[in-house]
Amino acid sequence: MYPNDYICDMMQKIRLTLLFYSLFIATVLAQTQDKVDFLKGSILIEIQPTTKKIIGTVVYEFEVLNAVDSVFLDAKNMSFKAVKLNAKKVKYHTTNERIIIAKKFKKGEKYSLTLNYTTIPKQTVYFIGWDAATEHGQNQIWTQGQGKYTSYWLPSFDDMTEKVEFDMSIIFDEKYEVISNGTLVKTEKQQANLQKWTFDMQNPMSSYLVAFAIGNYKTVAQTSTSQIPLNLYFYPEDSLKVEPTYRYTKQIFDFLEDEIGVAYPWQNYKQIPVKDFLYAGMENTGATIFSDAYMIDSTAFIDKNYVNVNAHELAHQWFGNLVTEVDGNSHWLHEGFATYYALLAEKEIFGDDYFYWKLFDSAEQLKLAAENGQGEALQNDKASSLTFYEKGAWALVMLRNEIGDKAFKNGIKTYLENYKFKNVTIKDFIIEMEKASEKSLANYQSEWLTNKEFPIENVKEFLSAKAISLASYYQLKAQLDSNSNDHSKKEIFTKTFLETSSSALRKQIIQTTPQEQLSDTVFKQVLASDDVLTRQGLIINTTKIPQHLKSQFETLMNDNSYVTIENALLKLWYNFPEDRKKYMETTKDIIGLPDYNVRLLWLTLALVTENYNSLKTKEYFDELGSYTSPTYSPEIRQKALLYLHQTLGLTDEHLKNLINASMHHSWQFKKFARALIDDVLKDEDYKNRITALLPMLNSEEQRYIKSKL
């Protein structure tokens, strides 16, 4: 038995130790790690999909630039089995955020740090199709590091300024395809049905760009003019979608290498479609992961193609991956640049008129935002995507216009070469462009980088000078603004429409002009033409179809565009009830875009069309309802839920699928589902039914629904 004073003394020592430990941890969590340079990371992970567990080992080699008494890595909610420094056990501390190795590290010394860990990441790694609810879907695993943090599955660095050469080995079921950054150097058979894939990288990158994707894939191989391997992945059932999806890929690659003036900086380039992706695409180093909603057939190409996303993510391989922002204040150097170079690639493919009208559309969005008090400076790290992407691209358009092509291209090349595999600020970029142009860019910075407003008058002047069709459009607007007579307006619209050869201007006139101000001459010319986009614009903007143009409008159902077919079906069905069955029969076998736009509309109309295949009504209803389930993509589920909610209502099964959607990892779909739940809960019957469903929900779903009741 210890005496009381001894116990008090021991308690005091424990309190002091805990206080010291807390202060130490707080200090480490608040600091950056600029005195240590991590050089190489060798990763081995085994993934257990049914439990969503990752068992990993990573060996880091690092050099101490200045003496420090600790090093740390970001490691969220990880359990460590063993930690070794230079092959010897070392003491370490962990928090929910980091692992800290407390030891005196000597300046100039190199060390090897081995971490054995397990984790069940709550984000960043997404397991698609492994739950019972989605067992009929495609089984996949994929990562999204940017904005979600690689440190949820790999002890690594949330700080973008720590660049490491990462090599990755992954152990998984041999029947799947495993894809990661770098070159696949070997595969090795493991026990049971497992295999190990080993990938090699040759140059350093920020941790958020480390990625892998696992699924059932085939691949088409291409080679760039500079002999870079281009690997285009697809699902086995999507072989007919490969060409339209990846159309122009080699041309885009060759163009960007030439336009940027710096060789592609990585060993190869892969593109991998995945289910339920969070964004359009993500530019992981040498391995872009993108939404399979862009896997399209030739008919869909006019409506929604992958060309812009393809070029945007490829441009990031230079702007973001090779040269990386120091922090969010310089995010323009990533997104504005990728958006700009993607537009240049589209200009190369689709022509000047297309390019300038895309800039016009962008300018209109930015103008509206500014008018609504939502204008933002490009150097604001909290700015919106509209600012970083669209205003960012415009800033480069106008910089090039100000300093000229030669100085611009020379400046870009020098910037990339001087900062390759490093981090930069906007100031660094401006210095390089001032050197290249031999002029001050102070006024440019004031107008485009620090100004919250959007200089729309300068933009109009620029667009008018670059594109005759846009000059005509601005002239048209001026004429309309000074004329209040509807008959005169109709004549002005007709004259401009007939005089222009620009498809973009014609579409703009058709889509933005009130139907009553469009003449019969315009209607007939559009309907007689083979300009798919102008025809599409007409049917989108038409509410009442004139009887004498009925047969011409019916030809739109045969257009090479699923958006046109969808709108034609709906508008013709609405305007001509006597021919509804004919329209339904014409489109009964069309699925449409990857979001099933035509099929979902068709099923909805089939359910509300009087005396149409009444014996199949339940079959149609069940099919429409099935598309609300987790088997399908968020885009399909959202459309199906909306159609059912707006027409026949939601069954208990649909409500369960809606509640399931409210937990989805895609924030956009999750937001939609939660808004719809709020809406249906206003109805007492729905509220009672949802309450009765509580015992059938999982704990997370129950917690959320109880909070809403």
Q: Where are the domains positioned within the chain?
A: 1-30, 35-216, 323-466
- Count how many Cα atoms sit within 13 Å of the Cα of residue 369 in the half-sphere of its side chain: 21
The reported pLDDT for the residue numbered 1 is 41
b/e for 3-16, b at 16 or more Cβ within 10 A? eeeeeeeeeeeeee
Q: Identify the residue whose tokens are 């030891």.
A: 103
Q: How far apart are CA 106 and CA 110, in angstroms?
A: 9
* Residue 22 and residue 73 in contact, taking contact as beta carbons nearer than 8 Å: no
Terminal Cα-to-Cα distance of the chain (whole angstroms) = 57
Average pLDDT, the chain: 95
Q: CATH number for 323-466: choose from 1.10.390.10, 1.10.1040.50, 1.10.10.10, 1.20.1370.20.
A: 1.10.390.10
* pLDDT tens per residue, range 356-411: 999 999 999 999 999 999 999 999 999 999 999 999 999 999 999 999 999 999 99
Q: How far apart are CA 567 and CA 559, in angstroms?
A: 11
List, in order, residues 6 or more apart from 626 with CB less than 8 Å away.
Answer: 632
Helix axes 249-260, 332-350, angle to 10 degrees: 120
Confidence of residue 629 (pLDDT cuts 50, 70, 90): very high
H or E element, residue 8 = helix 4-30
Average pLDDT over residues 51-70: 98
Tokens, residue 167: 């090599």
pLDDT at 158 exceeding the cut of 90: yes
CA 49 to chain centre: 24
Average pLDDT over residues 682-691: 98
The reported pLDDT for the residue numbered 148 is 86
* Residue 645 and residue 683 in contact, taking contact as beta carbons nearer than 8 Å: no
Confidence of residue 483 (pLDDT cuts 50, 70, 90): confident
Residues in the chain: 709
What percent of the chain shows pLDDT beyond 90?
A: 92
Helix axes 634-646, 667-680, angle to 10 degrees: 20
How buried is 192 (Cβ within 10 angstroms: 0-12 exposed, 13-18 middle, 19+ buried)?
Answer: exposed
What percent of the chain shows pLDDT beyond 70?
A: 95
The reported pLDDT for the residue numbered 3 is 43
Q: In the beta sheet, which residues pair with residue 422?
A: 323
Pairing assessment for the beta strands 183-189 and 194-200 based on DSSP bridges: antiparallel
How buried is 611 (Cβ within 10 angstroms: 0-12 exposed, 13-18 middle, 19+ buried)?
Answer: exposed
Phi and psi (nearest 5°) for 126? Answer: -120, 125
For 413-534, where are the E strands, in sequence order?
422-424
pLDDT at 12 exceeding the cut of 90: no
481/642: higher pLDDT = 642
pLDDT at 28 exceeding the cut of 50: no
pLDDT at 8 exceeding the cut of 80: no
The reported pLDDT for the residue numbered 481 is 87
* Residue 143 and residue 78 in contact, taking contact as beta carbons nearer than 8 Å: no
Q: Does domain 35-216 have CATH number 3.40.50.1820?
A: no
Average pLDDT over residues 619-637: 97
- Count how many Cα atoms sit within 13 Å of the Cα of residue 509 in the half-sphere of its side chain: 34
- Render 519-579 in DSSP notation, one character per residue: -HHHHHHHHHS--HHHHHHHHHH-SS--GGGHHHHHGGGGSS-HHHHHHHHHHHHHH-GGG
Q: How far apart are CA 421 and CA 424, in angstroms?
A: 10
The reported pLDDT for the residue numbered 138 is 84
Tokens, residue 380: 């604001």
- What Cα–Cα distance (Å) separates residue 701 from each residue in 23, 357, 551? 38, 45, 51
Q: How far apart are CA 309 and CA 223, in angstroms?
A: 20
Average pLDDT over residues 182-204: 98
For 345-472, where are the E strands, in sequence order?
422-424
The reported pLDDT for the residue numbered 681 is 98
b/e for 117-132, b at 16 or more Cβ within 10 A? bebebeebbbbbbbee
The reported pLDDT for the residue numbered 19 is 45
Q: How far apart are CA 570 and CA 598, in angstroms?
A: 10
Tokens, residue 575: 């305007």
Confidence of residue 133 (pLDDT cuts 50, 70, 90): low
